[in-house]
Structure 1
Amino acid sequence: MKKLGFIALSALLAVSCASKKDLDAALEKQQRTQELLDTATVRLNACEAEEKANEARLQALQAQVADLRANNQSLINNTGELTTLSKKGAENLEKSLESLREKDLQIKTLNDAITRKDSVTLALVTSLKSSLGNLNDEDISINVEKGVVYVSISDKLLFPSGSATVNNNAKNVLGKVAKVVNDKPEIEIMVEGHTDNQPINTPQFKDNWALSTARALAVTRILQEDFDVAPSRMTAAGRSYYIPVASNDTAEGRAKNRRTRIIVLPKLDQFFDMVEKGMEQAKQNAKAGK
């Protein structure tokens, strides 16, 4: 009886071991199968994406083919006009080149004229500073603004307070300015009188307009009568107190504003005449292909 029980137990153990082994094998097979399935799924997705991309490329190529066919047909239809268009295009190109040459030459001409004007201005400033160099900077100054030379002379150097009579000592200064002007016949001058904003009302001068104008006229007459500056080259102008160079709120500022300014001007008609002639020459040179 004990022997029979031992045999039964052995058989049961054998069956149990065989089942575990098969189960492990089945699980391993299942895992490999799952991995193959995952790989196949990835490849399938990639193939589907590539298929969509190929379809898009195919549609794009078909559209390009359609455009090429349309362009080809257009070229075929326009073949008869190509000769005329080419000739017209060549004529237009030649006109454009001529226009560019003319503009380049005109720009060069204008630059040359400006350079010449700047050279004249520099020479003028040098002459004035050389002639007036020994004067106090507070009484007289020379500067250039936008290509125009300005000589500014203080009120205290030229006139007594509230007067339009030029001091005898100031005539020496005006004589030096006159010499430079007379040496350069290509320039003209404008004499401007400037005041501060303090009111004035005397039997001689009703207001600052009258005072500034009278002072400009007095300087102009000195230049003409004492130093032979041609009156046709001069203009006198009163500017009252409307163009200050400093604040009128202080005595120092008002002193700076009381001044006579001599503006040295190139003869603009000569300058523009030179530019106009240069432009015309540039046009002729452009037509000649120079």
Structure 2
Amino acid sequence: MRIPALLSSLAVIAVLGQGCVSNKKFSQLQTSYNELENRNRDLDGKYQASQRELSGANTRVKSLEEQIAAQRTGLAALQAALDKCLNSTSQGNVNISKLVDEINASNKYIQHLVNTKNKSDSLNLVLTNNLTRSLSREEMRDVDVQVLKGVVYISLSDKMLYKSGSYEISPTAGATLSKIAKIIMDYKDYDVLIEGNTDNVPISQTNIRNNWDLSALRGSSVVQALQNTYGVDPKRLTAGGRGEYNPIASNADDAGKTRNRRTQIIITPKLDQFMELIDKAPESAEEKK
């Protein structure tokens, strides 16, 4: 990217120009430099998030491809057995019928896996795109959206959601939560886990024992807001808290602590959909006996 080079050039111009330009001009150049530096930092953050999302998608694709490859290997073995039966005695007629059924079942299951993978990828992509398009540029500064291994993660900063040191929802969070709630309601086949997270600084309030309490109460506050204010079906919602024990950055500095103080809205396909996928696996000849 050319931004770093431009920043360096502005810095050099600013230094060389201190002796020959006015303080006003120098201040303008310094402001431009700072704006470009901030823009470069934002772009770098978006790039890193895209790389993480791509890595998660590649892992999911690899897992499904391995399942498909395993099914195709089994199909090849069945086909070889069928060929052997065709060259054997007349008693092979019954076995041939069974093998044909197994081959057809394997083919259908392979196609089912492919279709499931394509459907899951497509739904998550549409969900993510709809969500990011609905949020303003200002809201996106406090909201991070990622798809990892078929699960959509929406991470919300605590400064946007809550009053300082509290689990009460801030009035300013309403607009953002309403947009997220609409997306959740549009995808009725997904369950939603609301998970609170904190940094490692002990809480010092008489009505909250520790960070476990604070994180769980924050998750519960968002769940109740989604249910009572925005009409999300409570049967789809789960509230949880992980305290300080699921950090995504170091707690050694303020920047890391800020990233760790977050609430994640985790959107996943319902468990019965996975069980249905398992139930549709074809039976082998031995299992059918």
Residue 145 of structure 1 corresponds to: 148
Deviation string, structure 1 residues 126-164 (Cα, Å, up to 9, x no partner): 111111243344311111010100110001111122110
SS in 2 for 1:160: coil
1:263 to 257, 263, 266: 266
Aligned residues of 1:190 and 1:264 also touching (Cα < 8 A): yes
Residue 180 of structure 1 corresponds to: 183
Give the 5 Å matches for 1:21-32. Answer: none
- The change in CA–CA distance for 1:129 and 1:201 in structure 2 (over 3 A counts) is same
Deviation string, structure 1 residues 142-198 (Cα, Å, up to 9, x no partner): 110101001100011111221101110011111110111122222221100000111
Residue 236 of structure 2 corresponds to: 233
Aligned residues of 1:196 and 1:240 also touching (Cα < 8 A): yes
Q: Does 1:165 align with 2:168?
A: yes
Runs of 4 or more above 4 Å deviation: 276-280
Residue 287 of structure 1 corresponds to: none
Instruction: Give the distance between the partners of 1:272 and 1:175, measured in 2 at CA.
Output: 32
Q: What RMSD over aligned residues (CA atoms) do the two structures have, in Å? A: 2.2
Instruction: Give the distance between the partners of 2:239 and 2:212, measured in 1 at CA.
Output: 13
Aligned residues of 2:139 and 2:176 also touching (Cα < 8 A): no
Residue 101 of structure 1 corresponds to: 104
Instruction: Give the distance between the partners of 1:272 and 1:115, measured in 2 at CA.
Output: 18
Aligned residues of 1:171 and 1:222 also touching (Cα < 8 A): no
TM superposition shift of 1:276: 6.0
SS in 2 for 1:205: coil
Question: Where does structure 1 lack aligned partners over 5 or more consecutive residues?
Answer: 1-84, 284-290
Instruction: Give the distance between the partners of 2:102 and 2:231, measured in 1 at CA.
Output: 49
Instruction: Give the distance between the partners of 2:142 and 2:180, measured in 1 at CA.
Output: 14
Amino acid at match of 1:234: L
| TM-score of the pair, normalised by structure 2 | 0.63
Instruction: Give the distance between the partners of 2:200 and 2:218, measured in 1 at CA.
Output: 16
Amino acid at match of 1:113: T
1:121 to 120, 124, 135: 124
Which gives a bigger RCO, structure 1 or 2 (Cα 8 Å, sep 6+)? 1
Instruction: Give the distance between the partners of 2:184 and 2:248, measured in 1 at CA.
Output: 25
Percentage identity across paired residues of the two chains: 37
Determine which structure has more spread, i.e. the larger CA radius of gyration.
Answer: 1
| TM-score of the pair, normalised by structure 1 | 0.63
Amino acid at match of 1:236: A
Question: Where does structure 2 lack aligned partners over 5 or more consecutive residues?
Answer: 1-87, 285-289
Aligned residues of 1:151 and 1:262 also touching (Cα < 8 A): yes
Aligned residues of 1:188 and 1:265 also touching (Cα < 8 A): yes
- The change in CA–CA distance for 1:144 and 1:133 in structure 2 (over 3 A counts) is farther
Give the 5 Å matches for 1:206-225. Answer: 206-225=209-228
